[in-house]
Structure 1
Amino acid sequence: MSHRLDAWCQDRGVTLAYIQHGEPPQNAYIERLNGSVRRELLDAYIFRTLDEVRRKALDCQHDYNHHRPHKSLGYRTSVAALS
């Protein structure tokens, strides 16, 4: 872990919890999200600025929450499942 991250966490009272090395099933939801973000955002576009990344990430987040049905939510969107 980087020393800067460690210092930032200590300053804010954040405790990091790690999964066991080589055991991604311990955190399957995050692993699935990481894969989706990688495929649908990072691998799909060439970004020239950090602002481009931020805008496109917000667009993807909005689409994911408002328009994409999720099997685990009975094929409803995340927003619909909350209401």
Structure 2
Amino acid sequence: KTIRVDQGSEFISRDLDLWAYQRGVELDFSRPGKPTDNAFIESFNGKFRAECLNTHWFLSLDDARSKMEEWRKDYNTVRPHSAIGNKPPISLMNGSSAASAP
């Protein structure tokens, strides 16, 4: 029921505030200038922006959904993560070090 967000422009919009209010979701803002309040999401947001948002043109909402879903699958099933021994996250679910097919 709570989403932890930073002070980025994508998280302080009226539209997001309205969306959260209508769904009973609390937006928990980290302190300005304190990215260590939520280091995991800061790292994820940086990777998502650099590897997905900054590398694609989105021609429509469906195109954006498709490209983001493709990135999400790669991020979770193929891409190695240094925090978990250079394995993809899916390997933790499978109990192995090998990635499964997306």
Tell me the TM-score normalized by structure 1: 0.83
In structure 2, stretches of 5+ residues that fail to align are: 1-11, 95-102
Identity among equivalent positions (%) equals 37
The answer to whether the aligner puts 1:29 opposite 2:51 as a matched pair is no
Match of 2:28, SS state, is coil
1:4 Cα deviation after fit: 5.0
Aligned to 1:68: 79
> Which of structures 1 and 2 has the larger relative contact order (alpha carbons within 8 angstroms, sep 6+)?
2
Structure 1 stretch displaced more, 64-73 or 5-14: 5-14
- Identify, as 1 or 2, the structure richer in helix: 1
Alignment root-mean-square deviation, CA? 1.8
Distance 1:38 1:6, change over 3 A: closer
TM (normalized to structure 2)? 0.69
Deviations 1:7-55 (A, max 9, x none): 4434433222111111111111111111111111111112211111110
Tell me the number of residue pairs that the alignment of Structure 1 and Structure 2 aligns: 83
Q: Which of 19, 35, 57 does residue 30 from structure 2 map onto?
A: 19
Q: Which sections of structure 1, spanning at least 5 residues, go unmatched?
A: none
1:40 equivalent in alignment to 2:51: yes
Give the Cα separation in 2 of the matches to 1:67 and 1:9. 32
Residue number in structure 2 paired with 1:56? 67
